[in-house]
Amino acid sequence: MAASPCEETADVAGLQRRGVATPAIVRESGAERLEKQRPDFLGQGKTDMGTIRYGIAAAAIAAAMSLGMASMASAACVNKGGEGTNTTEAGAKFQAWEAVLQATDWGSWAQFMAGGQKIGTAPGYKVSKVRMSCKAGGLGQTCRAFATLCK
């Protein structure tokens, strides 16, 4: 059974007092030998738990970013719906389409309001699958609009 680092240091000191030459490996304590044997993961001369934690954190961040990029690609298209109420069906449809745009992108809504204001269009987006349904209610008419908008 190997001696503990403290016992090894005491033995080396005793040998040195008696004038016995000791090789370098014997003069090192057990802890010093372990430090030399520890793998050098990042080329910094030694590796401690902080270095390992930074490595794990870097790997986790890289994984999260790659997952984020994948979800961004699939998030290029969104399905949105909105509801509007007005005294006329045309006004309720317009309100419902505004709600769809506001739920998607306020910038697109602002351009829509400043531009042509044509229901079924969204500046900066390709719009598809536009559906409208209206019924009597509220102030006169309530309409619901649904669409798929792709960036």
For residue 73, the model assigns a pLDDT of 52
Secondary structure class of 11 (helix, strand, coil):
helix
- Residue 70: the pLDDT is 46
- For the packed helices 106-114 and 89-104, what is the interaxial angle rounded to 10 degrees? 140
Give me the half-sphere count of Cα atoms (radius 13 Å) on the Cβ side of residue 56.
6
**Is the CB of residue 27 less than 8 Å from the CB of residue 36?**
no
Structure tokens at 128: 């598809």
- pLDDT in the model for residue 77: 95
Q: What is the mean pLDDT of each run of 10 residues along the chain (151 residues)?
A: 54 68 59 60 57 64 58 74 96 96 95 92 95 90 96 92
